[in-house]
Each structure stands twice: as structure tokens, then as C-alpha cells.
Structure 1
Amino acid sequence: MHHSELSFPILTALVLMPAIGAALIGLISSRQAQYAKFVAAVTSVATGAMAIWLTAEFDQHDDGFQFVSKQPWIEEWGISWHLGVDGISLFLVLLTGVLFPLAILGIDPHNDEPGRDKPYFAWLLLLEAGVMGSFLSLDLFLFFVFFEIVLVPMYFLIGGWGYEGRVYAATKFFLYTMTGSAFMLVSIMATAYIASRNGVSGVTFDLVEIAENAEFAASTGRWLFFGFAVAFAVKVPVFPLHTWLPDAHTQAPTAGSVVLAGVMLKLGTYGLMRFGLYLFPEASYWSRYLWLGLAVIGIIYGAIAATMQTDLKRLVAYSSVAHLGFIVLGTFAFTSQAVTGSVMQMVNHGVSTGALFLMVGWIYERRHTRQIAELSGLQKVAPIFAAGFMVVMLSSIGVPGLNGFVGEYLILIGTFLAEPWYAAIAATGVILAALYLLWAYQRVFHGEPGEANEGFAELKLKEAATLLPFIGIIVFTGVYPKPMLDRIEPAVDRLIGHMESVADFEAPTPDEPVIVEHDDTEETEEGDH
């Protein structure tokens, strides 16, 4: 923990900065509502700058939590303000820091009446604070608070600035996630209480303390694990709990969709990894076939459902179900490559799907429709727009040289080591992804534009400035993933080491030669000559 001497509590600042921005916007009078965007932009850019600084200062040789802040909060219950970042959460924090300013600066809320910008930007900033807090919390109770805070702004963003079916979608989203969270709250309370009687001194909600010292009986651990897992599975969402997602995505305003796909769904996959695997290694290992099975079903189902969609935004939403299936698959394969791939894919999916939702939003603004059948030949009238869409779409398919490939490749290789059949089925999902995305691209951008699409505007300067960072990340990570992998891997190896020591299983390693005997004889013969 060489960074604990750092006098400035950077992680606390990352959480509080957007929250303070949201409060400031609340204080602006309605007559000066135009300043709301300015405050939102300044605070989100400052938060983003801190996240970038954090990533630059992060020590890639340290596999533990860095920049830790720990202050007692509710002492008699053992609850503390405990934040830390490691290789698993680092890039999710960075993604959150980069995505929000882009969503705030690059996307205007479509308002019928002026003056509604104020609550819109305040909710977005509060959402950022909640997401940051969720990725950084090392206290179970604190994590729960942030995990719940996130629901409220998202509910109001979908319900207030969404499309036709927004109220239904917002309510469905809220009820699903709220129900899942109720299970998690019970589990958190039980975990802290049972841990205090088995190996941990006194009641504490400290994640590291409980994970490293508490000893749960197998059956107890399994029940507790499922309480957490249900909440995360709804958030991911894992098939068959995914039905809120296409509705929420389709009805959410563009910025809402970008943030929902980019970072909010990752609260589920991150939660499974950080809390499920770390706290309950035995239960995670014991239930792995359930998760691998649901992941593979999600991959295939999401791809087939996406192929059937007539609404372009709904198609992208179902592609999310498939992509998140990959992340869950890698998480429960328990090999270093697969879990590293999953962490990487959380970030990659956020970038490429976030960018897809961004561009679908722009198509809707120009044409006021998202029906694939009503769009055609856009490439002729807006070639630069089409080119941008093409790059983002290829990254989502997982074409080599772009970011999606690296993550999916690692997940498939790592899963193949442990569970070859699941990897084989998942690989067909990659083929299906190419099918539905290329087919959608062909129908929307190729062919003759027709009268309705002839006035389709080319990419504007502001839009290009918003899209470029996305494309930059997509290409850079695809060509040179090393800086990212170097920071993720130590934390993943530590997590798997912890699991091996508690759940008594051995992760297969790829570096042992398959045919050992034959090689040895050849070498000795060569040595003899």
C-alpha cells in the first residue's frame, strides 16, 4: 500500500466531486438553468481528469488495493467509509470518468420544454457518483448504499427523458433491480453477522477482512452467495432475468443508454467478481456450471433475439445480453486468461456498445425513427457517419485489431482450458454477432437512400468530437492491450490464488506441454550426441 501515504484522498474525491456537482445544480435558480450544463461539464471533466491521473499513477506491480481511504462511519456496527482500487476495478473507474463527460457534453437531452435541463444534468451527476462509489467500495454496507443510489437517477432519467414507453420501462427496471437488491441486503447483513462468529473479530462489513478471515460452512456460504448473486444477475442481466434490459435501453434517452450499457450493467459483472468470487470461493466454484450454462444460453439467445429485431436500438440492446454472457462465462471459467478477458471485456463492451447507442441516438435525431426497414442507403448521403458506425460495429463483433477481439479471445482461450464444450458453444455466438450486426449495417447503410433518407445529415463537428475518443480507445486497446493487461492481471491472479486456497480447486495452466514423455527423450538423445 505504498500509496496510502498520499495526502490527498483521490478516491473519496472521485465519488464526492460528481455528487457536489449535482448538489450545485440543485441550487441554481430555474431562471439560470443554462448554467446547469456548464456545472455538469466542469465537474464531470474534473472527475474524468482525476480518473486518468489515478490510472497513470497506479502501480502495475502491486496486486492489492491501492490509494485506500478508510474512515470509521457507523462505528458500533463496524461500517466504515472504505474505498480502494485494484486492477479489476481500475479501468471501470477510468471508463466511468471518461464516459460521463462525453455523455454530458456530446448529447443534448431532447426536451419538449426548456428549463428541464437542470434535473437532467443533476441526475446524471448523481448517477456518476453512485457508479464510482460502487466500483470503489470495500465495505459491504457502503457498496450496498451506492448500488441502490444508482437506481434512483436511472429511474428518473428513463422516466423523464425517455421515449414513448418510458414510464413502463422505468418502472420495470426499478422493480426488477429493487427485488434483486432486497436479497443482497439480507445476505450482506447475514454475512457480517455470521463472519463475526467464525474467524472475524467483532462485527465488520469490511470486504477484505471477511474474505480473508471468515470461515463459512459450505451450505451457509452457498446461501449467502446466492443472495448476492441474484442481485448481480438481475443487474448484469443474466438470462432469464434480462427482460427489463431491452425495454430500459430502448426507452432511455441516448445519454441514459450510453451510461447504462457503458458502466451500469458492469455493476453486476463486477459485483459477481468482486463480491461473489472473493467472499464465497467455494460457493462460486460449486455453482459454476449453472453460471456457465446461463452465460452460454444468454450468448446464443441474445444473438438470435438481436437478429429478429426491427428496431435498431433494440437490436443493440439484445447484443448487450450476448456480450454480457461472454463476461459471465469468463468469470466462472476461473482461469487467469478468462477472468482477465472478462475484466477487459467489461470495459470494451462499455466503449463499443456505448458508442453504438450514441450513433443510434443520432440516427433517431435525424430521422425520428429507429425502424431498420425505414432506413436505407445512409452510406451514400453520409459516408463519414457510416464509416464511424462501421468501426464501432466491427469492434462490437470482435474483429482482430479492435478492442472487442482481445477480450473475447482471452475469454474463449481461458474457458477452453477449463471447459472446452462451453467455449465451443460460446464461439458460435461470435459468428452470430457478425451475422446480426453486419446484416443490420447492410440494411441501414447500403442500397439506395430513398426520398426520406436523402436529407440525412453528415456527421457534425460536435458529434465527431464526441465519437473520436470512443474510436481512439477502440483502436488503441485493440492494437496495444498490454498496458491494460499488465494492470489487470496481478489482481486477477491474486483473486484466483485466493479461490484456489479456499475452494480447493486448481485452475488449469496453459504453459505445461501436452506431450511430456516424448519431448524428454528427444532432449536427452540430443544431449548424448
Structure 2
Amino acid sequence: MTWLLALILLPIAGAVVVAWLRDNDRLAFRTALGFSLATLALVIPLWNSYEPGGDRMQQTSSVEWIPRFGIHFAFGIDGIALVMIAVIALLVPLVITVLGVTDRLPAGRSAGGYLSLILVQQGLTIGVFSATDVFLFYVLFEVMLVPMYFLIGAYGGPNRQYAAVKFFLYSFLGGLIMLASVIGAYVIASEELTEGTFDWATLTAVVSDAPLSTQIWLFLGFFLAFAIKAPLVPLHTWLPDAAGQAPIGVAVVLVGVLDKVGTFGFLRYCIPMFPAASQELAPWVLTLAVAGVLYASVLAAGQQDMKRFVAYVSIAHFGFITLGIFAFSMQSQVGAVTYMLNHSLATGMLILVIGMVIARGGSSVISDYGGMAKVTPVLAGLMLVAGLATLALPGTNTFISEFLVLLGAFETRPVFTVFAAIGMVLAAVYVLWLYQRVMQGPVRGNALVGAAGGPGAVQAPEVAAPKVVRDTSRRELAVLAPLVVLIIGLGIYPKPVVDVVTPSVEATMSAVQGGDER
């Protein structure tokens, strides 16, 4: 068994074990954390065994599933998949650890059920990133919606059912449209090879030579599914609802990792399989990307809910990532792939910090807070680190990614890049404004200031007494410390990640005629 197969199967096995511990929340928590840490430990030999200059797909394995149609359980990774697998392996133990700190489960819901769904989500997502059979990818793409649907719908906020259904329908319908293109690619391969196959490498070699008109139709089927998942404007409306209603830990997985399946799909499927269509439709895709940067940035600045704020910030960042991918520059695509990783770290930390704020104040409304730095200075400092990484301050991990995207995209698409760069200015505005409203000034807001004299007492604001709010606990520091180290470490020295993803980006660029081979 390869390290990759172990990574896929271990969290799913853990989910089965944890599901049996529904009546013992403490044991369920410890068991889930143990399985997640073991999964993280497996990433180390997987990373060390990966050879950046070796074969495009490594750690490969294949078992026949439906021989009549050439369908296999086939897995393998390139550098792009590797970094995404590493980040979900890192985030899941943190998500499990914050259970009981930032997340309180609804009455009647067990920790065992919640944690088993988290582990299933992890295993399926790793499978999506590593599938090398296109039909298997489609199946996992759809199946991974199920645990997330229940995580939002059973454990989320007051409007959780609406948010869960909206999330599921958007992604499921996008997947069905992608299935039509998958079948179309299979038919083309059958005609060319006299036998059908869903092998990614074979389909890529055959379909990439199809006429432009055929490529465009097949490209659109894949693109629509991935644009919903990413999400790109105007297909984004499910994300603010889902992230706003999801528990904090689930929001970290949703915004930090699950959405990256969309941009990963652009790189793995849209461009290599349909290179001519990708170039032909690139101006339209870039228009959506830049519109998303500007539109989501403006909406982020106007949000009153902190969780929805993070959702719109992420939509803007996905615009930058898509710009880097479809600018067809070597630098911009390397920047886009590293942005996928770095966005997961920075946004994951920001969501966790916001969850800690909400756990103290009992509200996600920004106006319910103010001057919190006076009572929780350490938490305020951690929120500042996460905010500065979100706005891509030099020295943080996201800076090099955003810099490479803009630098590379300017060479090939200068007009789009200039408009997208406005988003950098807006990012500084909305991030610092959030920090100022929540953390700076006098202590104020319903979440931090309570009336003296007991419940129901009505007093003038000047005699309202500040509530007792504790600063960051050791457990919270243990959750956030790895993210701080990675945010600063990769900001100063991004070479390990750049070296891993660059050969995979070069292979993607080589599929595009006229791509920048530098």
C-alpha cells in the first residue's frame, strides 16, 4: 500500500471507529484527534518521497472497478495535489481541537457524529485531489458533498437547513453538468482508441487534439462545476450562506480546503484536457475573476457578520487565484497554486480567531464588539497576524503568492491585472476596518458590555459594566501557533513549496500552445 492510499483510508477508518463512540464524547474526541494526527504524520513520508523532477504522477495505484467501461480506482499525486493534501491534513486536527472551544454542538447532537463526518470529509477530499480516473473523480466530487451537507445542516446556525440545501444543490447540479462533459470525453476517446477509458492521462492526450468547437462545449461543462465550487461571481451566493451558518471548524474546512477543489479542477482538467478552449475563453474567465475581486471586496467592507465577511474575502481571493491560472504565465500559475495553500492557512487562522471572538461574546455581529484588545490583548495580536496575512502584507505567506500572480499576469493580461490590483487596496481597507471595529477603541458593544444589577436590569450606558472576558487559553494557543509559524515561515522562505509545485505547473503550461515556458 502506498503512503497516498493510507492517507485516504486512515481518516475513513477513523470515522467508522468514532461513529461507534456516540455515547462517549470524550473518547470520541480523543480517538478522532488521534486518527487526524496520524494522518498528518503520514504526510511527512509522502512529502519526502515526492520527487519534484520525477514523473508527473507519483504514488500511483490502480485497481479495476468497472472493466467494461475502463473505470478504475486509480490514484496518484502531482505537486499541486500534494500541497492541498498537506493543508487538509494540517487543518483537520486543529478543527477537531477547537471543538468545545469555539464550537458548541446543538442540543441532542453527539460529538461522535460530528467528528466522524469531519474525518469522512477529510478522506473524501484527499481522494478528490488524488483521483487519476476521471469518472472516479466525478463520483468523489459529488459524494464529498454529503458529509458537508450534514455538517452544516445538523450542526450549524439558525438558518442551517437553508444554507445546507443551497450548498448541496449548487454543487450537485454543477457536478451533473460536468458529468455530461465526462461522458463526452469518454465518447471521443472511444472513437479514437476503439475502446473507452476514463484514465486522466489518456483522455488528456486524446481530447486535447479535438476540434475547438468540441473542446469549448466540453470545457464549459467542467468549468461550470469548478466555477461553482471555487466560487466565481456570479455563482458564489451559496458560500456566504454556508460559511455564515456552518460551525467554525466546518467553515475552516469549507473555505480553507473544499473550495480549492474548484481551482484545482481548472489546473488538472480544464487546461490540460481543453487547451485550445482554455485560451479561447480565457478573456471571459478573467472578466469573471476580476469582477469577483472587486465585487466581493466591496461587499466584504459592508458586512455586519464576521463569518460572512470571511466568505466574501475568500471570494475575492479566489478571483486572484483564477486570474493567475488563466493568465497563462509560468509565474502567475505558480503564484496561483501557492495562493491556494497560503489562503488556506491565512483564512483558516482568521476563521478560527473569529470563532474565538464569537465564543467569548456570543455574537457574530461586528457592531456587538469594540475595544476587545483591552481585555484580550493576545487574542487581538493573533487576529492582527491573521488579518495582515489576509491582506498579503510583505513578510506573510500570502504576499509572495499575490506578488507572483500580479507580476506574471501583468506580462500577458495587463488590463485585467491593473483592475485586479485595486483589490489589494480594498483588502487593506476591509481587513483593517474589521480589526479597528472589533479590537480598537473603548470597550463597547452588547457582546462585551453588560448591564450591572443582574438579568433584566435596565441602566444607562454610562453605568454599564464590562463583562469578564478571558484572554487566549493554552489550548487556543496550541491551535493557532502552527498557523502563525507557517504564515511567517512561508512568508520568509517559500522555496520548499515553490520547488514542489513548479514542475507540475510547467507540465500544465506545456499543454497550452504558446504558454510561457520560462
TM-score (norm 2): 0.93
User: 1:431 is matched with which residue: 417, 421, 425?
Assistant: 425
Q: Following the alignment from structure 2 to structure 1, what is the Cα–Cα distance between the partners of residues 106 and 83?
A: 37
Q: Following the alignment from structure 2 to structure 1, what is the Cα–Cα distance between the partners of residues 468 and 407?
A: 46
Contact 2:329 2:515 survives alignment (8 Å):
no
Correspondence for 1:68: 60
Percent identical pairs in the alignment equals 39
Contact 2:65 2:73 survives alignment (8 Å):
yes
For residues 299-345 of structure 1, the C-alpha deviation after alignment (integer angstroms, 9 at most, x for no partner) is 00010000011111111111011001001110100111011111000
- State the Cα distance separating 1:69 from its structure 2 match: 1.2
Matched, 1:138 2:147: no
- State the Cα distance separating 1:187 from its structure 2 match: 1.1
Matched, 1:402 2:415: no
User: What secondary structure does 2:61 align onto?
Assistant: strand
Contact 1:63 1:87 survives alignment (8 Å):
no
AA partner of residue 470 (structure 2): A
AA partner of residue 205 (structure 1): F
User: 2:70 is matched with which residue: 66, 69, 78?
Assistant: 78
Q: Following the alignment from structure 2 to structure 1, what is the Cα–Cα distance between the partners of residues 30 and 365?
A: 34
- State the Cα distance separating 1:34 from its structure 2 match: 3.1
Matched, 1:455 2:468: yes
For residues 235-256 of structure 1, the C-alpha deviation after alignment (integer angstroms, 9 at most, x for no partner) is 0010000001101001000111
Q: 1:201 to 1:477 in 2, by over 3 A?
A: farther
List gaps (5 residues or longer) in structure 2.
451-465
Q: How many residues align?
A: 496
Q: Following the alignment from structure 2 to structure 1, what is the Cα–Cα distance between the partners of residues 34 and 515?
A: 48
Correspondence for 1:281: 275
Correspondence for 1:166: 160
Runs of 4+ in structure 1 deviating by more than 6 angstroms, as ranges, are: none
Q: Following the alignment from structure 1 to structure 2, what is the Cα–Cα distance between the partners of residues 27 and 399?
A: 46
Contact 1:400 1:478 survives alignment (8 Å):
yes
Correspondence for 1:382: 376
Matched, 1:157 2:151: yes
User: 1:88 is matched with which residue: 80, 95, 107?
Assistant: 80
Contact 1:187 1:228 survives alignment (8 Å):
yes
Correspondence for 2:16: 23
- State the Cα distance separating 1:286 from its structure 2 match: 0.8
- State the Cα distance separating 1:114 from its structure 2 match: 5.7
AA partner of residue 487 (structure 1): V
Q: Following the alignment from structure 1 to structure 2, what is the Cα–Cα distance between the partners of residues 196 and 271?
A: 23
Correspondence for 1:523: none
Q: Following the alignment from structure 1 to structure 2, what is the Cα–Cα distance between the partners of residues 32 and 379?
A: 37
Correspondence for 2:508: 495
Q: Following the alignment from structure 1 to structure 2, what is the Cα–Cα distance between the partners of residues 506 and 189?
A: 28
Q: Following the alignment from structure 2 to structure 1, what is the Cα–Cα distance between the partners of residues 154 and 215?
A: 41
Greater mean alpha carbon deviation, residues 442-451 or residues 210-219: 210-219
For residues 430-470 of structure 1, the C-alpha deviation after alignment (integer angstroms, 9 at most, x for no partner) is 11000000011011100011334542220110000000111
Q: Following the alignment from structure 1 to structure 2, what is the Cα–Cα distance between the partners of residues 173 and 429?
A: 26
For 1:8-19, what aligned pairs fall within 5 Å after superposition? Answer: 8-19=1-12
Contact 2:509 2:517 survives alignment (8 Å):
no
Q: Following the alignment from structure 2 to structure 1, what is the Cα–Cα distance between the partners of residues 275 and 294?
A: 27
User: What secondary structure does 1:287 align onto?
Assistant: helix
Correspondence for 2:316: 322
Q: Following the alignment from structure 2 to structure 1, what is the Cα–Cα distance between the partners of residues 376 and 44?
A: 34
Contact 1:327 1:343 survives alignment (8 Å):
yes
Correspondence for 1:262: 256
Contact 1:303 1:318 survives alignment (8 Å):
yes
Correspondence for 1:514: none
AA partner of residue 91 (structure 1): V
For residues 68-118 of structure 1, the C-alpha deviation after alignment (integer angstroms, 9 at most, x for no partner) is 112222111101111111111110010011111111123334124366111
User: 1:373 is matched with which residue: 361, 367, 372?
Assistant: 367
For 1:49-64, what aligned pairs fall within 5 Å after superposition? Answer: 49-62=41-54, 64=56
- State the Cα distance separating 1:51 from its structure 2 match: 1.5
User: What secondary structure does 1:309 align onto?
Assistant: coil
Correspondence for 2:480: 467
For residues 236-280 of structure 1, the C-alpha deviation after alignment (integer angstroms, 9 at most, x for no partner) is 010000001101001000111000111100001101110111111
Matched, 1:239 2:252: no
Contact 2:263 2:322 survives alignment (8 Å):
yes
What CA RMSD, in Å, does the superposition of the two structures yield over aligned residues? Answer: 1.4
For 1:501-512, what aligned pairs fall within 5 Å after superposition? Answer: 505-507=514-516
- State the Cα distance separating 1:35 from its structure 2 match: 2.2
AA partner of residue 213 (structure 1): V
User: 2:499 is matched with which residue: 486, 498, 504?
Assistant: 486
For residues 164-205 of structure 1, the C-alpha deviation after alignment (integer angstroms, 9 at most, x for no partner) is 11111111111111111110111111211212213x452110
List gaps (5 residues or longer) in structure 1.
1-7, 510-529
Q: 1:225 to 1:435 in 2, by over 3 A?
A: same
- State the Cα distance separating 1:508 from its structure 2 match: 7.7
Contact 2:334 2:501 survives alignment (8 Å):
yes
Q: Following the alignment from structure 1 to structure 2, what is the Cα–Cα distance between the partners of residues 311 and 113?
A: 24
Q: 1:49 to 1:508 in 2, by over 3 A?
A: closer
Correspondence for 2:180: 186
User: What secondary structure does 2:23 align onto?
Assistant: helix
User: What secondary structure does 1:406 align onto?
Assistant: helix
User: What secondary structure does 1:69 align onto?
Assistant: strand
For residues 18-77 of structure 1, the C-alpha deviation after alignment (integer angstroms, 9 at most, x for no partner) is 11111122333x433432222211111111111232112221222511111122221111
AA partner of residue 34 (structure 1): R
Greater mean alpha carbon deviation, residues 50-59 or residues 150-159: 50-59
Contact 1:336 1:493 survives alignment (8 Å):
yes
